Structure 1
């Protein structure tokens, strides 16, 4: 069941802009002991996505209350929150679309993250690139066909996650996570001004690093830069951070940065 505009339902109108055009944005949060972890970060992400897409942001107090209500009684779970432009308009035009829809859904927390945390994960270079579009870069909009194709190719390998490039061949992210790597005390992450999702956990990690002795750099690099990395890790709101043991043919054993970040991300 989904909580759609305050009512428990299993259906959304075929005329909703989400079903027609993927016209909306979403966030996925982790629930621990009946509370939404870093709820304010997720509300801020939704507001930023709505602003970029020109969608009126639903009442944040109502949305926050609904998120809290769904989290109650859940020891560990996943909460997905979607905002769509709602119904209305003709063709691509959004004229007349002044009642956005909010959709909330609970799902089990991915249990395999525990095993991945213990052994570290493997990354394989994806043949599917991300299109470059500064207008959409950074936000988590509902158009996820690139990730669907990336995932389909990933499932043909033995890797756990994908290394994803943009259409010009620059390192960007993973299929469902952001990417960091370390050389000495310098930490690097791809700049996301042309493609990719600026995840809530990525933002949190960058704040943690900026307040520490580590030096954080947003860079535009080819995948070969990972050959010289001392450590690689990935993150999203659910993982929340995982060590990488292998990316393509390159292997890593250090968990120094991972151990530093984990307490602030859990």
Structure 2
């Protein structure tokens, strides 16, 4: 089901800047028992992205209502919300784009996530690295070609997710998830100030750990630092948290942090 500017249709104008330039942002939320999980956080991330991208979207109350409306009839589903700069003239200038487009769609919840949570997964180091751009770092914009290439390479391996570095070789994230690892009571996650997506579940986990006995730190580390980790896990709004058994040749058996976080992320 697609809802575009309040109309049930799957037709987006060919001159919409999402089509022409990937000019917009999005968020992907989990629907459970008729409600959008972490709704306020998803709206906040869209607002921050629109501010960063200078998209003059103002219909936040209407968008929230539409999100709740689409979720209300779903027991377990995925809700994706996109905001584009709208339609305009030819070229990069956004001067004539006065009416942003809001696009919502509902899809089936991935059936493999429960198995991932129960059994754990493996990560393969991706040959595709993320470009560094501090101005776009953290936000979930519509330019996802890097992730498309990462996923394409990942599908040639036996791993379920990718371990992704930025172009300087620093640990950054996965293809569609954020990354945490634990050494004793210390928990680490990569900085999101130069590349990557600062996911809503990542932000939630950092807040949960700040109010706990765990000590969480954002770091810039090489992938080799995982060799000393006791535990590794990934997260996003849909998973929401998944333990990692193996990343390249490094193996992880502990699920202590995962067991602490799992009930807090539901």
TM-score by length of 2: 0.99
Match of 2:224 in 1: 224
Separation of aligned partners in 2, 1:245 and 1:109: 23
Match of 2:39 in 1: 39
Match of 2:97 in 1: 97
Separation of aligned partners in 2, 1:263 and 1:118: 14
TM-score by length of 1: 0.99
Separation of aligned partners in 2, 1:169 and 1:10: 40
Q: Quick check: 1:130 aligned with 2:130?
A: yes
CA drift of 1:252 comes to 0.7
Report the RMSD for the aligned CA atoms in angstroms. 0.6
Separation of aligned partners in 1, 2:106 and 2:114: 20
Match of 2:159 in 1: 159
Separation of aligned partners in 2, 1:87 and 1:73: 31
Separation of aligned partners in 2, 1:248 and 1:58: 45
Match of 2:196 in 1: 196
**Aligned partner of residue 245 in structure 2, secondary structure:** strand
CA drift of 1:96 comes to 1.5
| Deviation readout 1:105-142 (Å, 9 max, x if unpaired) | 00000010111111101000000000000010000000
8 A Cα contact 1:170 1:220, kept in partner? yes
Separation of aligned partners in 2, 1:32 and 1:71: 8
CA drift of 1:78 comes to 0.1
CA drift of 1:90 comes to 3.2
Separation of aligned partners in 1, 2:141 and 2:89: 19
8 A Cα contact 1:58 1:102, kept in partner? no
CA drift of 1:58 comes to 3.4
Q: Any gaps of 5 or more consecutive residues in structure 2?
A: none
**Misfit runs of 4+, over 2 Å:** none
| Deviation readout 1:229-252 (Å, 9 max, x if unpaired) | 000000000000000000100111
Q: 5 Å matches for 1:6-45?
A: 6-45=6-45
CA drift of 1:98 comes to 1.2
**Aligned partner of residue 61 in structure 1, secondary structure:** helix
Match of 2:65 in 1: 65
Separation of aligned partners in 2, 1:73 and 1:88: 35
**Aligned partner of residue 92 in structure 2, secondary structure:** coil
CA drift of 1:60 comes to 1.1
CA drift of 1:57 comes to 2.2
| Deviation readout 1:69-114 (Å, 9 max, x if unpaired) | 0001211000000000001143000001110000000000001011
